[in-house]
Amino acid sequence: MGNMTTESKAARPTLPASPPLTERQEARRRRILHTSAKLASRGGFDAVQMREVAESSGVALGTLYRYFPSKVHLLVATMQDQLQHMHETLRKRPPSEQDPGARVAQTLMRAFRALQREPHLADAMVRALTFADRSVSPEVDTVSRLTTAIILDAMGLDGPATPEQLSAVRVIEHTWHSALITWLSGRASIAQVKIDIETVCRLIDLTAPGRER
The length of the chain in residues reads 213
Identify the residue among 15, 43, 56, 63 touching DNA (CB under 7 A): 63
- Structural contact between residues 20 and 38, judged by C-beta atoms closer than 8 angstroms: no
Which one among 84, 134, 190, 209 touches a second copy, defined by CB under 8 A? 134
Size of the site for DNA (CB under 7 A): 29
Judged by CB under 7 A, the residue of 36, 37, 44, 69 near DNA is: 69
Torsion of CA 125, 131, 132, 134, to 10 degrees: 160
Element (H, E) at 62: helix 61-67
- What's the one-letter identity of residue 74? L
* Closer residue to DNA in complex, CB, 131/153: 131
Q: How far apart are CA 9 and CA 139, in angstroms?
A: 17
- C-beta closer to a second copy: residue 63 or 178: 178
Contact with a second copy (CB under 8 A) among 59, 86, 136, 154: 136
- CB under 7 A: which stretch of 55-63, 114-122, 147-155, 189-197 binds DNA? 55-63
162 makes contact with a second copy (CB under 8 A): no
Interaction between residue 28 and DNA (CB under 7 A): yes
Closest by CA position to 54, among listed 42, 67, 44, 45 = 67
Instruction: State yes or no: residue 61 binds DNA (CB under 7 A).
Output: yes
Contact 108, 197 (CB under 8 A): yes
142 near a second copy, rule: CB under 8 A: no
Q: Is position 170 an interface residue for a second copy (rule: CB under 8 A)? A: yes
Residue 50 makes contact with DNA by CB under 7 A = yes
Q: Which of 99, 95, 91 is nearest to 203 (CA)?
A: 99
Residues that bind DNA (CB under 7 A): 1-6, 19, 22, 24-25, 28, 46, 48-51, 58-63, 65-67, 69-72
